[in-house]
C-alpha cells in the first residue's frame, strides 16, 4: 500500500469470508496521503457511549451509609478519599472519574396509590429516560425515548449497527411482573421511542455473531459454528493479502486486533464447551454461551464492547448489569447474602456493610473495561479518552425503595468533555435528569433544552480544588 500516492483503505473496510464479516480497526492506511479531512477526523473522533445500569441502589444512599461515605466521598471537588467508598476500586482511574452525588430520580416514584410498591418494576425504564412509566401489564407501554437511543438516532446511523443492548441477568420474561407493571419495564433500559423497548442480548455468542458473523447465509454461519475453527480461519486468505499491503505499524495493529478477536472467540467456545458437558450448572437455565461466573460474563461483554468500538461497528451500548429483585449471590464480594435481600438491610449497620460489599464488588468490574479501552489507540488518543461511560442506579436506598440521592458516576474523557478527578455534589432536590441533560450536551446534543424532568443542565467540571457544593 503506497500511502504517498493517495491510495488508502476506506474507514468502513471489512474482511469477509463464509459466514464472517470482520470490520477493521482504524489504520494509518485509512488516512489519504497522511492527511485527514475534517469529515474523516470527525468520524475518527466520534464520542463513544456506554450506559450501565446497576439495580437496587447503594448502601451509601442509606441515611447511615451516607454518613460513612459508602458511596460518595466526603470531600466535594478534588482531593477526595475513596477508601471507605464503593468507588474505591476506581482510585487508580480517578483522572477519568466524575462523581455526581445528591441527585434524585423522582420519575421512578409512585405518582398515585395503585403504583405504590411497584418501584422495582418501573425503575429500570426510568434510568435512561427520566420519564415516569405508564402502569400497565399489557402492550400499551409508555415511558420515553432513552438517552442512548437519542444519541444513536442522531450520531449512530453511519455505523453498521447504530447501537447494541446487552445484559447479564435473565430478562427474557413476558406478561406482568408485579404491582400492575409489565416485565418489559424491568427488562429494558433502552427505548427507541416511548412505546418501543429494545431487546437485550445476554449470550456473548449472540453478541459476537452480531458483530463478526454477519456475512454469508444462516446455513454458512451455522456450519462454521459446528467446526472448531476460528472465524478468522474463514478470512485468512484476505487477511494475508491485506497484510502485504500495509506498513509495519498497521500490520502490528491489525495483528493485535485480530488476536483479540480470536481470544474472545476462544473464551466463548470454552464457556460453551464447559456448559455442554452435562455437569450441574449454577445458572441451569442460562444459554450455553453464558458463563456461570458473573465476573467472567461481565468481562466477555466488556471485551465485545471494546472490539466493537475499535472497529467502529457501533459507538453506542447500553449494558444492564443486574435485574431488579435478583437473588443472585456474589461470593467473591465477601458476603453470601443474595443481592435483593441484601438491599433490604433494615437499616442495621452490619447488614448495610454487607450490602456495601456487593456494591463495591460490582464497581470493581469497571477497571477491566477502562484498561481495555485505554490500551486501544485510535489516531491521536486512546478509546477511553474518546468514551463516556455512565454508571448508576435509578434506585437510591433499596431498603426503603427510595429514589432520592441516587448513585451516579461518569467515566472516560468523552473527547475532552469530561474533566475527571472531580466530585460534584448537586443541591438538594436536583433531578438526575439535569446530569443526564449535561451528558447529552457533552455528546454533541447542544440544542437540547430539557430531558425528562430536568430543570436545567449542570456543569460537569469544577475549576480549582475548592470543596463546595456545585449545581447547575
pLDDT in tens, 184-233: 999 999 999 999 999 999 999 999 999 987 555 666 666 666 666 688 88
Q: Nearest 5 degrees, angle CA 180-CA 185-CA 188?
A: 165
Assigned C-alpha cell, 234 = 474463514
Give the pLDDT score at 379.
85
Residue 2 has pLDDT above 50, yes or no: no
DSSP conformation class of 74: S
Does the pLDDT value for residue 452 go beyond 80?
yes
Condensed to tens digits (0 to 9), the pLDDT of residues 160-179 reads: 999 999 999 988 666 678 99
Distance of alpha carbon 194 from the chain centroid: 21
CA distance 326 to 187: 12
> Taking the domains of the chain in order of start, what are their residue ranges?
1-44+219-289, 48-202+297-472
Distance CA 383, CA 46 (A): 10
What CA–CA distance (Å, rounded) separates 188 from 167?
A: 9
pLDDT at 235 over 80: yes
Is the separation of the CB atoms in 167 and 198 below 8 Å? no
Q: Which set of grid coordinates corresponds to residue 207?
A: 453478541
Q: How confident is the model at residue 6 (pLDDT cuts 50, 70, 90)?
A: very low
Distance CA 238, CA 236 (A): 6
Cβ atoms of 86 and 333 within 8 Å: the answer is: no
Residues 6 or more apart from 253 whose CB is under 8 A from it? 25, 27, 377
Query: Which H or E run includes 296?
Result: helix 294-310
Most confident of 18-22, 177-181, 318-322: 318-322
Determine how many CB atoms are found less than 10 A away from the CB of residue 79: 11
Using one digit for the tens of pLDDT, what is the confidence trace for 329-387?
Answer: 999 999 999 999 999 999 999 999 999 999 999 999 999 999 999 999 998 899 999 99
**367 exposure class (CB count in 10 Å sphere: 0-12, 13-18, 19+):** middle
In this predicted structure, what is the pLDDT of residue 34? Answer: 58
Q: How distant, in Å, are the alpha carbons of 218, 247, 434 from that of 402?
A: 47, 57, 19
Q: Is the pLDDT of residue 301 over 90?
A: yes
**Sign of the four-CA dihedral 74, 78, 79, 83:** positive
Per-residue confidence (pLDDT) for residue 214, from 0 to 100:
54
Strands 14-17 and 181-182: unpaired
CA distances from 196 to 139, 142, 146, 182, 199 (A): 10, 8, 10, 13, 9
Asked if residue 38 has pLDDT above 80, the reply is no
List the beta bridge partners of residue 149: none
Per-residue pLDDT, 471: 43
Tell me how far CA of residue 296 lies from CA of 15, 292, 293, 303, 372, in angstroms: 28, 8, 5, 10, 15
Task: For Cα atoms 135, 136, 138, give the angle at the middle one, nearest 5 degrees.
Answer: 165
Mean pLDDT, all residues of the chain: 90
What's the pLDDT at 420? 96
Tell me the sheet residues that pair with 406.
103
Residues composing the chain: 472
Joined grid coordinates for residue 98: 466524575
Q: For position 230, what pLDDT does the model report?
A: 81
CA distance 441 to 132: 22
Q: Is 461 left (phi over 0), alpha (psi -120 to 50) or beta?
A: beta
Q: Which residue has the higher pLDDT, 448 or 22?
A: 448
pLDDT at 19: 66
pLDDT of residue 150: 98
CB neighbour class for 433 (10 Å; exposed up to 12, middle 13-18, buried from 19)? buried
- Percent of the residues in the chain that have a pLDDT greater than 90, as a whole number: 78
More confident residue, 44 or 97: 97
Torsion of CA 231, 236, 240, 246, to 10 degrees: -20
pLDDT digits (tens, 9 = 90+) for 50-71: 999 999 999 999 999 999 999 9
What would the grid cell of residue 353 be?
A: 456493610
Query: Quick one: pLDDT band at residue 245, thresholds 50, 70, 90?
Result: confident
Residue-level pLDDT at 468: 41
| Topology annotation, domain 48-202+297-472 | Alkaline Phosphatase, subunit A (3.40.720)
The pLDDT confidence band at residue 10, using thresholds 50, 70 and 90, is confident
Cβ count within 10 A of residue 218: 9
Average pLDDT (73-98) is 97
> In the prediction, which pLDDT does 472 show?
40
Give the closest residue to 299 by CA, choosing from 332, 326, 337: 332
Residue 248 has pLDDT above 70, yes or no: yes
Helices (H), ranges, 214-348? 218-226, 236-245, 248-275, 294-310, 339-343
Query: Computed from CA positions of residues 193, 194, 199, 202, in that sequence, does the dihedral angle turn out positive or negative?
Result: positive
Rounded to a whole number of angstroms, the CA Rg of the chain reads 22
Determine the Cα–Cα distance for residues 249 and 260; give it in Å rounded to an integer: 17
Beta strands 316-320 and 164-167, pairing class: parallel
Residue 79 DSSP SS3: coil
Amino acid at each position: 500500500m503506497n500511502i504517498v500516492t493517495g491510495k488508502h483503505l476506506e474507514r468502513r473496510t471489512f474482511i469477509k469470508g463464509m459466514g464472517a464479516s470482520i470490520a477493521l480497526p482504524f489504520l494509518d492506511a485509512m488516512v489519504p496521503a497522511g492527511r485527514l479531512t475534517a469529515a474523516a477526523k470527525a468520524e475518527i473522533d466520534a464520542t463513544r457511549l456506554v450506559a450501565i445500569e446497576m439495580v437496587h441502589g447503594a448502601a451509601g444512599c442509606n441515611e447511615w451509609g451516607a454518613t460513612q461515605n459508602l458511596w460518595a466521598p466526603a470531600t466535594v471537588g478534588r482531593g477526595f478519599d475513596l477508601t471507605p467508598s464503593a468507588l474505591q476500586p476506581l482510585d487508580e482511574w480517578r483522572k477519568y472519574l466524575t462523581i455526581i452525588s445528591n441527585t434524585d430520580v423522582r420519575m421512578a416514584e409512585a405518582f398515585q396509590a395503585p403504583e405504590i410498591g411497584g418501584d422495582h418494576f418501573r425503575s429500570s425504564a426510568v434510568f435512561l429516560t427520566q420519564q415516569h412509566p405508564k402502569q400497565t401489564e399489557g402492550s400499551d407501554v409508555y415511558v420515553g425515548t432513552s438517552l442512548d437511543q437519542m444519541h444513536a438516532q442522531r450520531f449512530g446511523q453511519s455505523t453498521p449497527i447504530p447501537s447494541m443492548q446487552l445484559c447479564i441477568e435473565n430478562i427474557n420474561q413476558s406478561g406482568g411482573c408485579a404491582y400492575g407493571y409489565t416485565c418489559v419495564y424491568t427488562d429494558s433500559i433502552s427505548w427507541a421511542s416511548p412505546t418501543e423497548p429494545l431487546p437485550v442480548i445476554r449470550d456473548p455468542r449472540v453478541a459476537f455473531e452480531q458483530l463478526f458473523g454477519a456475512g454469508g447465509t444462516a446455513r454458512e454461519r451455522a456450519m462454521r459454528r459446528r467446526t472448531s475453527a476460528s472465524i478468522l480461519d474463514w478470512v485468512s486468505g484476505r487477511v494475508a493479502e491485506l497484510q502485504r499491503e500495509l506498513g509495519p505499524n498497521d500490520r502490528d495493529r491489525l495483528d493485535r486486533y485480530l488476536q483479540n478477536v480470536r481470544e474472545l472467540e476462544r473464551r466463548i467456545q470454552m464457556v460453551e464447551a464447559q456448559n455442554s458437558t452435562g455437569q450441574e450448572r449454577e445458572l441451569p437455565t442460562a444459554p450455553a454461551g453464558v458463563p456461570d461466573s458473573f465476573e467472567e460474563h461481565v468481562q466477555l461483554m466488556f471485551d465485545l464492547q471494546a472490539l466493537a468500538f475499535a472497529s467502529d461497528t457501533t459507538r453506542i451500548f447500553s449494558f444492564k448489569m443486574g435485574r431488579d429483585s435478583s437473588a443472585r449471590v456474589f461470593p467473591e464480594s465477601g458476603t453470601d447474602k443474595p443481592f435483593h435481600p441484601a438491599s433490604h438491610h433494615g437499616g442495621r449497620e452490619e447488614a448495610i456493610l454487607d450490602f456495601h460489599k456487593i456494591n463495591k464488588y460490582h464497581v470493581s468490574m469497571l477497571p477491566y473495561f477502562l484498561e481495555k479501552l485505554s490500551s486501544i489507540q485510535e489516531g491521536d488518543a486512546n478509546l477511553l479518552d474518546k468514551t463516556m461511560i455512565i454508571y448508576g442506579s435509578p434506585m437510591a436506598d433499596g431498603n426503603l425503595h427510595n429514589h432520592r440521592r441516587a448513585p451516579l458516576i461518569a467515566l472516560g474523557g468523552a473527547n475532552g468533555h469530561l474533566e475527571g478527578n472531580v466530585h460534584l455534589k448537586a443541591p438538594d432536590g436536583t433531578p438526575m435528569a439535569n446530569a443526564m441533560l449535561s451528558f447529552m450536551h457533552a455528546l454533541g446534543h447542544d440544542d437540547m433544552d430539557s430531558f425528562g424532568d430536568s430543570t436545567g443542565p449542570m456543569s460537569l467540571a469544577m475549576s480549582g480544588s475548592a470543596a463546595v457544593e456545585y449545581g447547575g
